[in-house]
Structure 1
Amino acid sequence: MLQVENLVAGYPSGGRVLKGATFDVAKGEVVALLGRNGMGKTTLMRALAGQLATQGGSFRLDGRELGNCPSYVIANEGIGYVPQGREIFKDFTVEENLLMGVLGKPRLPNRLPPDIYDFFPVLGERRRQKAGTMSGGQQQQLAIMRCLVGQPKLLLLDEPSEGIQPSIVDEIGRTLQAIARSTGLTILVVEQNLDFVEALAGRALFMENGVIADRADRIGQLRERPELVHRYLSI
């Protein structure tokens, strides 16, 4: 599914952040990307989504090289991105936000699937409501669903539990797990909430100083090997 090899990326004002990240994610896997702030996790997600130019290395989805392709090409090839902070259109209604998820997708009709609100029913209840008036948890559900209506093969999630009450976090985790199991959706998630990670992911990668420094091949190793969590998350 996703192959990342020696990926290098950064910012003009801050130099290189990714310094040769290498890892694979298989179809249908849910993989957590863990590490302290400033280690390159969001930079990696932005590079994979085409929002940040790569400076070396490569990444491929289903064998197609996508490094430095425009973001719309990457999206149309099947990579969907839910950024940290959600970035919904606050003055648009819920339904208008969701329609943005299919806009510009040549393989999809410019309308919403009839069952789209089954996953997060609150969005159906509030479909005419302006998104900026909803709670943070509801906005996160909207951001996730806006991405999913585009039918990605790979979903990139950056800190989906940040600033959200625990009950909504649990609901999001259960829904994503159900979607992944029923559709074969592949997920790469950056997250600090270990309870959320353990409920959703099958394994974890640890990022430090712009590279994948270690891994837990089973998510249970987060409990079995507490030194990993201590070293890479300072918990």
Structure 2
Amino acid sequence: MLEIQSLNQFYGESHTLWDLDMTIPEGKCTVLMGRNGVGKTTLLQCIMGLVKVKSGDIKMGSQSLLKLDAEERPRQGIGYVPQGRQIFPMLTVQENLEVGLPIREKGDRKIPEFIFDLFPVLKEMLHRRGGDLSGGQQQQLAIGRALVVNPQLLILDEPTEGIQPNIVQEIGDIIRMLNEKMGLTVLLVEQKLPFARKVGDRFCILDRGRQVAEGEIDELNEQLIKEYLTV
């Protein structure tokens, strides 16, 4: 589904991602893990074209994403939920969801009804401003907005951050359903181990901009957790 090949990225003189190779297999939920500051969010921003890549490649199928502007990448079938949600606080829930409609086929530019089935609260608050929603509701809105583009790959950057526990559980259930029943490939950055184990099929661990471990989620053992994940 997604292939990252020999990827290097710099912030000024700081070398952030080092010759990174990673595969996100189709139909799986891959959890990207690592301590703060190891390059997880930077990698997602590279995939989405929000930061420049120094060298290497990122391929979605046979298409190199690096040849496309950031505005074109969702058209390749990628939905993105950034860290901190980044909804438009002054727009209504409906207007936030409609942001993704131009990505859809011309004859099908309406908000898919299944989004309201997943998140009934969004239908109830359709005409409320995004900034008036709770943190958990805003996260649901951010996920719904990403789903509007009809993605094949859904990328989420710490979707449980700052969210109340009952909504965390609901978001986990929805990610599993999207992956298992709707066939979406998922790439998820997550710090919470119980959540990662609940939703993930596979894990990849970054340390200082390099991939240091990967495997099935059941292979995420105490040695790896102690060496690369505990603070």
**Please, what TM-score do these two structures have when normalized by structure 2?**
0.95
Residue matched to 1:99: 98
Residue 231 (1) aligns with residue 230 (2) = no
Residue matched to 1:4: 4
Q: Select between 108-117 and 200-209 the one with higher mean Cα deviation.
A: 108-117
Residue 70 (1) aligns with residue 69 (2) = yes
- 1:80: Cα distance to partner? 1.8
Which secondary structure does the structure 1 equivalent of 2:54 belong to?
Answer: strand
1:52-201 correspondence runs (5 A): 52-106=51-105, 109-201=108-200
Give the whole-Å Cα distance in 2 for the aligned partners of 1:52 and 1:106: 27
- 1:104: Cα distance to partner? 4.4
When you count helix as a share of all residues, which structure comes out higher? Answer: 2
Which secondary structure does the structure 2 equivalent of 1:54 belong to?
Answer: coil
Which secondary structure does the structure 2 equivalent of 1:145 belong to?
Answer: helix
Q: Is the 8 Å Cα contact of residues 54 and 68 (structure 1) preserved in structure 2?
A: no
- The count of residues paired between Structure 1 and Structure 2 equals 231
Give the whole-Å Cα distance in 2 for the aligned partners of 1:75 and 1:115: 19
- 1:220: Cα distance to partner? 1.9
**Please, what TM-score do these two structures have when normalized by structure 1?**
0.94
Give the whole-Å Cα distance in 1 for the aligned partners of 2:152 and 2:97: 18
Which secondary structure does the structure 2 equivalent of 1:177 belong to?
Answer: helix
Q: Is the 8 Å Cα contact of residues 9 and 16 (structure 1) preserved in structure 2?
A: yes
Residue matched to 1:43: 42
Q: Is the 8 Å Cα contact of residues 33 and 207 (structure 1) preserved in structure 2?
A: yes
Give the whole-Å Cα distance in 2 for the aligned partners of 1:188 and 1:18: 18
Give the whole-Å Cα distance in 2 for the aligned partners of 1:214 and 1:146: 32
Report % sequence identity: 39
* CA separation of 1:108 and 1:170: change in aligned 2, threshold 3 A: farther
Q: Select between 174-183 and 131-140 the one with higher mean Cα deviation.
A: 174-183
2:227 maps to amino acid: R
Q: Is the 8 Å Cα contact of residues 49 and 80 (structure 1) preserved in structure 2?
A: no
Q: Select between 115-124 and 137-146 the one with higher mean Cα deviation.
A: 115-124
Residue matched to 2:219: 221
Gaps of 5+ in 2: none
Q: Select between 205-214 and 67-76 the one with higher mean Cα deviation.
A: 67-76
Moved over 6 A (4+): none
